[in-house]
Amino acid sequence: MILTVTGGKGGTGKTSVALSIAQRMGQATYVDADVEAPNAAILLGAEMTAIGDVTKKIPRINEEKCIKCGLCAQACPVAALVHIPGKIPLFFEENCVGCMLCKDACPVGAIEEVEEQIGTIRQGHTGEITIYDGVALPGVEETAPIVSKLLEIALNKAKGDVIIDTAAGIHCNVVRAILPADRVAIVTEPTPYGVHDLEKIVKLVERLKKPAEIYANKWGISQHYEQRITEIAEKHGYALKKIPYSPDFARAYAQGRFAPLVIQ
Ligand code: SF4
Ligand code: SF4
């Protein structure tokens, strides 16, 4: 079974909920797909080892061969190359999607294709849980290939049930991590932002046609927003699991320690 744990809002305790579920499962594979800020290994104190690099193709202009015609910049669909007449085109790597249309357009073969590292896939263990995560290199904006490679490796090697812990939000990295799921656990909290973002992530999960349940963390801090979460769960036919607010847990988290949550 693949369970993806997600949440529209950051700071709801999504990773702690995911780790608490994983610990109940016994032998499990835990995939931390929040590649811009993976923290499950830190919370569990697991030693992680790099098992693969993630690269992307980028063009490199050979300045000796370039005749400064600008055809590569014209061919680029995302303005990653900018041509100033009489000069070698400027390259804005953060925009580049690696399509290599520029290379095809170059009349003198002045563009080479090079592989540049954008991230690393890691593996580690703690107890019966095997952890995989992806780590984007600083400054890398296009992180979707890291999530894709992480899921490919982890799901191929997985033993037992799988928990995928997504980034917060409803962007494409979250969608990628929900797509392989048999079930989705949506984590929220009884606050205005928690309820607002819950409605957005519920819409996304419904659009992806995945069965789901809601885990409401910090239960007991606002009757009003707990009522709203209950109504959303009832409206969509989702089971509602409540996790009482615990100052002990918040203290442990602030100290970088994992304390399993009590899920009711
Ligand atoms: S590889 Fe594609 S996106 Fe990148 S510079 Fe060339 S044409 Fe533009
Ligand atoms: S198409 Fe080739 S020759 Fe023309 S500017 Fe680009 S790299 Fe230089």
Greater pLDDT, 11 or 89: 89
CATH topology match: 2-54+119-254 vs 63-109: no
Tell whether ligand 2 has an atom less than 6 A from the beta carbon of residue 67: yes
pTM of the model: 0.86
The answer, yes or no, to whether residue 258 has pLDDT greater than 80, is no
Question: What pLDDT digit, counting tens, does each position of 163-220 carry?
Answer: 999 999 999 999 999 999 999 999 999 999 999 999 999 999 999 999 999 999 999 9
- 152: number of Cβ within 10 Å: 13
Least confident of 8-12, 204-208, 249-253: 249-253
How much is the pLDDT for 129? 92
Question: What pLDDT digit, counting tens, does each position of 52-97 carry?
Answer: 999 999 999 999 999 999 999 999 999 999 999 999 999 998 889 8
Question: What pLDDT digit, counting tens, does each position of 12-61 carry?
Answer: 889 989 999 998 888 899 999 999 999 899 988 899 999 999 999 999 99
CATH number of this structure's domain 63-109 = 3.30.70.20
How much is the pLDDT for 142? 84
Tell whether ligand 2 has an atom less than 6 A from the beta carbon of residue 70: yes
Relative to the alpha carbon of 59, which ligand is closest? Answer: 1
Topology (CATH level 3) of domain 2-54+119-254: Rossmann fold (3.40.50)
Q: Where are the domains of the chain?
A: 2-54+119-254, 63-109
Q: Which atom of ligand 2 is nearest to the CA of 73?
A: 6
Tell whether ligand 1 has an atom less than 6 A from the beta carbon of residue 52: no
Nearest alpha carbon, ligand 2 atom 1: 106
Say how many Å lie between the CA of residue 154 and the centre of ligand 1. Answer: 30
